[in-house]
Amino acid sequence: MYKKIAALAMSVVLMLSMAACSAQNSSDAPGSDTSSAESISVPESVSAPEEEAAFPVTVKDAAGREVTIEEEPEKLVSGYYITTSMVIALGQQDKLVGVEAKADSRPIYSLAAPELLELPSVGTAKEFDLEGCAALEPDLVVLPLKLKDTVSALEELGIPVLLANPEDLTLLRQTIEMLGAATGAQEQADALLAYNQQTEDDLKALLDGVQRPTVYLAGNSSYLSTAGAKMYQNTLIELGGGDNVAAELEDDYWAEVSYEQLLAWNPQVIVIVPEASYTKDDLMNDPQLAQLDAVKNGQVYQMPSSFEAWDSPVPSAMLGSRWMAAVLHEDVYSFETFCNDAEAFYSQFYGIEIDTSLLTK
């Protein structure tokens, strides 16, 4: 259950006092010449206005639509795993009456809100169950932007719909603001936004002037798929102190690349996304990739998958950039400190204790 956040305290003292991460990769990642620093600061105290949520409220969604919610919603449907996770982080999970398909594949649900696993499914972006969604009689429905064609049908039934598309830091912030206002959780949204902004500012300051290694992000379906500059994953790499070798790609979804292209890029580091359908060994043992610097030097890492897909713009997305910084620049941001920071985040925003031994490289 969510406990109302009256004052959020995430001090450096708290981070340094938490248990150290017990599972670390012993290989050295490309670092920098910058002198070491033990921690990224976070707000020592984040206090949000204690005003009652005001309704009706009008918010702008990812399609630029202005949507008015007349009363605070009591029944929510989220057809998008990113917004479902946001609803949990905002403490509104008890209002959910329907969620996207395959909810049981999201570890954070079972950890922070196991009751969501029993809720009806409203399908996927490709096969959305419009009738099933309407039958739940929600006060508000939140969907990904790609489902914009379903909006009119739901609105004809008197159901307000918000569309989300948090594909960069600005859009992620706007999505959190939108959901906070629309669900009456402005205080919680302000706290999460303050945490994210502080992390962004501190990572930029901490990694200013470091030697940035070239990074290839290997996608979910194949290690020959990757993310270009138009995807959130590019932000993940850059904020973590790396240069995305695929930034030149114009695709707004995972792009397929050839062995020849990957060899030409010759990244110093390869990072495998959390939900990859293949293993690190599969990539390392592919003879066609044996000449890559990342493979020869053992600089191939897989993001943890035990909590959330940090390569996505979920509420904990900043932990993805923190993880990236700890892998690429452990001399200025240690992996132990990252583990403490992750533990503090999930305690504050999800009310759970995580097993930091699962935070591997």
What are the percentages of helix, strand and coil residues in the chain, rounded to 5? Answer: 40, 15, 45
Type and span of the H or E element at 270:
strand 269-272
Residue 257 corresponds to which tokens in the numbers above?
Answer: 């690349």
DSSP for 154-180 reads: HHHTT--EEEE---SHHHHHHHHHHHH
**Which class is 209-358 in CATH?**
alpha beta
Burial class for 89, CB neighbours closer than 10 Å (0-12, 13-18, 19+): buried
Which pLDDT score, from 0 to 100, does residue 53 have?
64
Instruction: Enumerate residues 6+ apart whose C-beta is below 8 A from 267.
Output: 213, 214, 215, 216, 245, 292, 293, 294
pLDDT of amino acid 12: 34
Interior angle at CA 208, CA 12 and CA 261, nearest 5: 115
CB 216 within 8 A of CB 245: yes
Can you tell me the distance from the alpha carbon of 326 to that of 207, in angstroms, rounded to the nearest whole number?
11
The partner residues of 68 in beta bridges, in order of sequence, read: 58
Of 311, 264, 313, 259, nearest to 283 by C-alpha is 259
pLDDT at 334: 96
Please state, in angstroms and rounded to a whole number, the distance separating the CA atoms of residues 242 and 311: 14
Q: Do 57-191 and 209-358 agree at the fold level? A: yes
Domain ranges of the chain: 57-191, 209-358
> What sign does the dihedral 165-169-170-173 (CA atoms) show?
positive
How far does the chain reach from its first CA to its final CA, in angstroms?
31
Strand partners, 302: 272
Q: Name, in order, each residue with C-beta under 8 angstroms of 234's C-beta and a sequence gap of 6 or more.
A: 227, 228, 244, 246, 247
Residue 59: φ, ψ to 5°? -125, 160
Return the pLDDT at 51: 53
Walk along the chain (361 residues) and give the pLDDT tens digit of each residue.
433 333 333 333 333 334 444 444 444 444 444 444 445 554 443 444 445 668 999 999 999 999 999 999 999 999 999 999 999 999 999 999 999 999 999 999 999 999 999 999 999 988 999 999 999 999 999 999 999 999 999 999 999 999 999 988 899 999 999 999 999 999 999 999 999 999 999 999 999 999 999 999 999 999 999 999 999 999 999 999 999 999 999 888 899 999 999 999 999 999 999 999 999 999 999 999 999 999 999 999 999 999 999 999 999 999 999 999 999 999 999 999 999 999 999 999 999 999 999 999 8
Asked if 104 contacts 81 with a C-beta cutoff of 8 angstroms, the reply is no
Using CA atoms, how far residue 46 sits from 8, 197, 228, in Å, is 5, 12, 34
The architecture that CATH gives domain 57-191 is: 3-Layer(aba) Sandwich (3.40)
